[in-house]
Amino acid sequence: MKIVHYLNQFFGGIGGEEFADAPPKLIQGPVGPGNLLGKMLPDDAQVAATIVCGDNYAVENQQEVISFVTDQVTQTQADLVVAGPCFNAGRYGMAAGSVCAAVKSELGIPVVTGMNVENPGVDVYRGDIHIVDSSDSPTRMRDVLAKMASLGAKLASGEPVGTPSLEGYIPQGVLRSEFVEKTAAQRMAEMLMAKLKGEPFEPEIPVIAFDSIPVPVMTTEVSKAKIALVTDGGLVPKSNPDNLPRAFSRVWGAYSIDERPGLEGRDFEVAHGGYDNTHVQQDPNRLVPVDVMREMERAGSIGSLHNEFLSTTGNSNPLDNSRRIGREMAKRLKEAGVDAVILTST
């Protein structure tokens, strides 16, 4: 069994962020984590070649990189393509997902990669390829590669693949019928008894857990605070420069309101398919109230209004992806010295 391994510039041994623009290149044999991967594969399997590419280059030249990878995989006569693991590196995850999806769809060759559940590559490609849950820590490299090797070997040999909890990959949203020994009523009764006794049990339908977030303490007087406006209602400048989608958004934008007394409908549009936004199109201040905030600024009720508003589309957005967007927005606002945020929704 021949394996082609895709790595970014860091794990491929080229260098750090300064080499993120490196174009793809083929290296014979294993590199970096590929050496450990090779030891975990079956005896008849080997990492025949490694493709290393800079993260920036892969994202900015996706079709070129996909063509390079599919060509090299074909020439190597690979039986399996492994990418990563990428952990929580977003560009790496998007690149690994795109090349794996292309190899699987264009060449019919099995693929496997590894990412943290909050990697944006998961939201895009989880339905198309098998993605092992890597967590966000490279210290778990050995465990993650072991799961990737086991799953990859099954995919390449045509063996049946078990459930996500059994094999360690992220659920793909696929429902399969199975014959079980106990009826639904028996299973439910056993879970109920376990819960009443305080014993561990695993629900058959995943339960989404929401963390308890403590209310942050405002340390600056409102009359002296810099306030920012953030919305998940999809307000963007005309022409939608960041290409916010109307649903399932993986991106967000920051748009200048410097010296604007308010927002004019002729300058903005709405990228959101989940509500009737006619009134927002007519008067964007209904969603992002710049006009009222300027009045408060002039009256001294607030210290100042931040010179840009942040926007994304909340429609049908997965929780993990929303958390990532929130962290990225918070980082930008903290660096700008913002004291508080008014978050407006639909």
Q: Is the pLDDT of residue 177 over 80?
A: no
Asked whether residue 154 falls in the same domain as residue 20, the answer is: yes
pLDDT value of residue 156: 93
Asked whether residue 236 falls in the same domain as residue 300, the answer is: yes
253 in a structural domain: yes
**Cβ neighbours, 10 Å, residue 325:** 21
Asked whether residue 135 falls in the same domain as residue 227, the answer is: no
Query: How far apart are the C-alpha atoms of 170 and 154, rounded to whole Å?
Result: 16
Q: Is the pLDDT of residue 205 over 80?
A: no
pLDDT value of residue 206: 67
Asked whether residue 13 falls in the same domain as residue 111, the answer is: yes
Say which range, 12-21, 148-157, 317-326, has the weakest mean pLDDT.
317-326
Query: How far apart are the C-alpha atoms of 169 and 84, rounded to whole Å?
Result: 14
Asked whether residue 315 falls in the same domain as residue 228, the answer is: yes
Write out pLDDT tens, residues 239-269. Answer: 999 999 988 888 999 999 999 999 999 999 9
Q: Are strands 111-115 and 130-133 parallel, antiparallel or unpaired?
A: parallel
The residue out of 151, 167, 183 marking a domain boundary is 167
- Residue 304 is encoded by which pair of tokens? 């100042």
Evaluated on CA atoms 129, 130, 133, 137, the torsion sign reads negative
Asked whether residue 156 falls in the same domain as residue 237, the answer is: no
Q: Is the pLDDT of residue 208 over 70?
A: no
- CATH number reported for the structural domain that contains residue 83 in this entry: 3.40.50.2300
Round the average pLDDT of the chain to a whole number and report it.
92
Residue 321 binned pLDDT confidence (cut-offs 50, 70, 90): confident
**Cβ neighbours, 10 Å, residue 13:** 13
- Residue 290 is encoded by which pair of tokens? 């710049």
The residue out of 133, 167, 201 marking a domain boundary is 167
Residue 130 binned pLDDT confidence (cut-offs 50, 70, 90): very high
Q: Is the pLDDT of residue 74 over 70?
A: yes
190 in a structural domain: no
pLDDT value of residue 172: 83
202 in a structural domain: no
Virtual torsion, Cα 335, 338, 342, 343, nearest 10 deg:
0
Asked whether residue 282 falls in the same domain as residue 141, the answer is: no
Residue 171 binned pLDDT confidence (cut-offs 50, 70, 90): confident
**Cβ neighbours, 10 Å, residue 189:** 12
pLDDT value of residue 274: 86
319 in a structural domain: yes
229 in a structural domain: yes
201 in a structural domain: no
Half-sphere exposure of 4 (CA within 13 A, CB side): 27
Q: Are strands 268-270 and 235-237 parallel, antiparallel or unpaired?
A: antiparallel
Q: Is the pLDDT of residue 72 over 80?
A: yes
- Residue 65 is encoded by which pair of tokens? 């990189």
The DSSP letter of residue 161 is: P
Residue 107 binned pLDDT confidence (cut-offs 50, 70, 90): very high
> What's the rounded mean pLDDT across residues 197-225?
84
Q: Across-strand partners of 341?
A: 228
Q: What beta strand segments (E) does 181-302 contain?
A: 226-231, 235-237, 253-256, 268-270
The DSSP letter of residue 69 is: H
Q: Is the pLDDT of residue 98 over 90?
A: yes
181 in a structural domain: no
Asked whether residue 61 falls in the same domain as residue 128, the answer is: yes
12 in a structural domain: yes
Asked whether residue 31 falls in the same domain as residue 114, the answer is: yes
Domain limits for position 137: 2-167
Domain count, the chain: 2
> What's the rounded mean pLDDT across residues 298-313?
96
Q: What beta strand segments (E) does 238-332 contain?
A: 253-256, 268-270, 304-305, 308-311
Asked whether residue 23 falls in the same domain as residue 123, the answer is: yes
Asked whether residue 280 falls in the same domain as residue 155, the answer is: no
The residue out of 139, 167, 195 marking a domain boundary is 167
Asked whether residue 235 falls in the same domain as residue 93, the answer is: no
Q: Is the pLDDT of residue 198 over 90?
A: yes
- Residue 179 is encoded by which pair of tokens? 């014959």
pLDDT value of residue 237: 96
Strand order in the sheet with 2-8: 25-28, 46-53, 2-8, 80-83, 111-115, 130-133
Q: Is the pLDDT of residue 182 over 80?
A: yes
C-alpha 343, offset from chain centre? 22
CA distances from 140 to 6, 39, 153 (A): 18, 16, 20
Q: Is the pLDDT of residue 29 over 80?
A: yes
Phi, psi (5° rounding) for residue 243?
Answer: 55, 45
**Cβ neighbours, 10 Å, residue 67:** 14
Q: Which residue has the higher pLDDT, 62 or 179?
A: 62
